[in-house]
Amino acid sequence: MAKAATPAIAALVAAGVPHEVVQYRHDPRTESFGEEAVNELARAGGLAPEQIFKTLVVALPKGLGVAVLPVPSKLSLKAAAAALGAPKATMADPADAQRSSGYVVGGISPLGQRKALPTVVDASALRWDRVLCSAGKRGLDIALDPRDLVRLTNGVTADICAS
């Protein structure tokens, strides 16, 4: 058996979860990784932009947490904190996010992180039969059932998008 390309893919394979690895063209000059994924995947794959999720690492009073939400949406830090049982949340320092997850910014997957963190997935994910999230590398996503995403991250679901 070939070695999985990333820890996220390895986690899915080890759990026996059906998934599809989707590669897209990544421009190393881009700074908006989520928008790049939406532009490449929604056009090519006939996907709705709201089906493509981004992974954000947040700083909580007692450590870090993970918020997974549709790329076009903005995170409500207040809602994410509440869902993760914390009084408040701020965006994590990128270096801390990379160190904790083992992934580079723009390629942070909610799966296969170096250190398992409390995770909240936006409830809108459950409206889809499959969602896409980072596979742990820029230009690489995973399509999977959102219920598997929640289960494998030991996550909770909540409305975490700012209105």
Q: What is the pLDDT of residue 43?
A: 72
Q: Per residue in 1-18, pLDDT tens?
A: 445 689 999 999 999 999
SS3 category, 34: helix
Which CATH number is associated with domain 7-158?
3.90.960.10
Provide, rounded to the nearest whole percent, the portion of the chain with pLDDT above 90: 79
What is the structure's pLDDT at 2?
A: 46
Structure-block tokens of residue 64: 């870090």
- Asked whether residue 59 carries a pLDDT value surpassing 60, the answer given is yes
> With bands split at pLDDT 50, 70 and 90, how would you rate the model's confidence at 84?
very high
**pLDDT of the residue at 8:** 97
When mean pLDDT is compared across 46-50, 116-120, 140-144, the lowest value belongs to 46-50
Handedness of CA 58, 145, 11, 1 (dihedral sign): negative
Contact 46, 106 (CB under 8 A): no
pLDDT of 1 = 40
Encode pLDDT of 133-144 as tens digits: 999 998 999 999
Q: What is the pLDDT of residue 24?
A: 84
How far apart CA 142 and CA 23 sit, in angstroms, is 9
Q: Mean pLDDT, to the nearest integer, of 114-128?
A: 97
| Conformational region of residue 118, where left means phi above 0, alpha means psi within -120 to 50, and beta covers everything else | beta
70-74 average pLDDT score: 96
